[in-house]
Amino acid sequence: MRDNLQHSTFNLPTGFVFSQSSLQDYVDCQRRFQLRYIQQRAWPAIEAEPAMDTELYMQRGSQFHHMAHQYWLGIPAEKIARQVEGDEVLSRWWQNFVGSKDFGSLVKHSDDSDEENSRSLKPLPEISLSAPIGDLRIMAKYDLLILQTLRVSEEDLAHDDTSENPKGLNATIYDWKTSRKQPNREWLIHRLQTRVYPYLLAQAGAQLNGGEPFKPEQIEMIYWYTDFPDQPARFPYSQQQFDEDEAYLTGLLAEIKSMGEEDAPLAEDERRCRFCVYRSLCNRGVEAGPLEEAEGDWEVEEGFELELDFDDIAEIEY
């Protein structure tokens, strides 16, 4: 039997893979991380009020991710739009997406076969990457990765001996954000997602780049807001940021590994507890907080709906 199949790190479930959201949970509240990921406790309280608005918010976010995925697979935008004709919010987001200057230009160029344009684009929607950090593993699911080839002359290539301004393949990470307000840049900088996504692409993206790892300077992370199409938040990556992120993530994972069996400390900022389902377990409140205060924090992923399909019922007697 392979050794690594027997691997089990401290008290995390076997095969546990970290993501930006589980790491963010740890940073926000160690107890929440412990309950959610180590002990895997289901605790189905309301997350934010009104409950129906929260559900709609999550559903729309999920639906938008799905539509963008369909778009990049080549399904005509107007056919996709028809599916949400009755939903004013989703229709608006979709119009913003299709008509976005920033983003629309990329879409336009993706079909451009003009040699003189001297660049080509390869969209990779909903792609996942993972890599080990020490004896743990971390993964990310990207809403969209755009690889852009700059066709440079051989002469340019011969002189390209620096990593300061590399030419060749650039990688842009797009992450769709469906919140009704745009968080400030400083807040975004400190989100685990802003650190994990570009870091992981640099670490695990070699197979997308002809076997060569992306240099950090080739990577840019963009949060694209469905209600603010002209104000994407751009985060160019750098070697310095990569080094800082590596040190930070390595330290963070080492800290998580040192967690004991006892109840982990609760969040210092009790305001977070209003949006945490475990609040009753921690004696940190009764009612959920308002959605408009919470939504910036939430990551809506495609597949919000819990999976349960025929495979699960394989053994039920008929």
Write out the binding residues for other proteins, residues 106-135 only, by CB under 8 A. Answer: 127-135
121: three-class secondary structure by DSSP: strand
Cα 198 to Cα 210: distance, rounded to the nearest angstrom: 18
Q: Under the criterion CB under 8 A, does residue 222 sit at the interface with other proteins?
A: no
- Choose between 32 and 279: whose C-beta lies nearer to other proteins: 279
- Least distance from other proteins to the Cβ atom of residue 52, Å: 7
Interface positions, 75-94, toward other proteins (CB under 8 A): 75-76, 79-80, 82-85
Interface positions, 10-29, toward other proteins (CB under 8 A): 13-17
- Choose between 137 and 167: whose C-beta lies nearer to other proteins: 137
Among 114, 155, 268, 305, the residue binding other proteins under the rule CB under 8 A is 305
Question: Applying CB under 8 A, which part among 1-9, 22-30, 220-228, 229-237 lies near other proteins?
Answer: 1-9
- Least distance from other proteins to the Cβ atom of residue 281, Å: 6
Residues that contact other proteins, how many (by CB under 8 A): 77
What is the β-pairing status of strands 289-290 and 48-49? parallel
Cα 205 to Cα 199: distance, rounded to the nearest angstrom: 10
Q: Under the criterion CB under 8 A, does residue 66 sit at the interface with other proteins?
A: yes
Q: List all residues 6 or more positions away from 233 whose beta carbon is below 8 Å from its beta carbon.
A: 182, 185, 188, 222, 223, 225
Evaluate whether 126 touches 143 at the Cβ level (below 8 Å). Answer: yes
What is the β-pairing status of strands 219-225 and 169-177? parallel
Interface positions, 147-186, toward other proteins (CB under 8 A): none
Q: Under the criterion CB under 8 A, does residue 206 sit at the interface with other proteins?
A: yes
What is the β-pairing status of strands 48-49 and 136-150? unpaired
- Least distance from other proteins to the Cβ atom of residue 230, Å: 27
- Least distance from other proteins to the Cβ atom of residue 298, Å: 16
Single out the residue of 316, 268, 284, 257 nearest to residue 276, CA to CA.
284
Interface positions, 263-302, toward other proteins (CB under 8 A): 277, 279-281, 283, 286-288
**Helices (H), strands (E): how many in the chain?**
11, 7
Can you list the alpha helix ranges (DSSP code H) found in the chain?
A: 20-28, 30-33, 51-72, 77-82, 88-99, 101-110, 154-159, 185-189, 192-204, 239-257, 291-294
Question: Applying CB under 8 A, which part among 105-113, 176-184, 186-194, 204-212 lies near other proteins?
Answer: 204-212
- Least distance from other proteins to the Cβ atom of residue 267, Å: 17
Beta-bridge partner residues of 236: 220
Question: Applying CB under 8 A, which part among 22-30, 166-174, 215-223, 305-313 lies near other proteins?
Answer: 305-313
CA-angle at 92, arms to 91 and 96, nearest 5° = 115
- Least distance from other proteins to the Cβ atom of residue 138, Å: 9
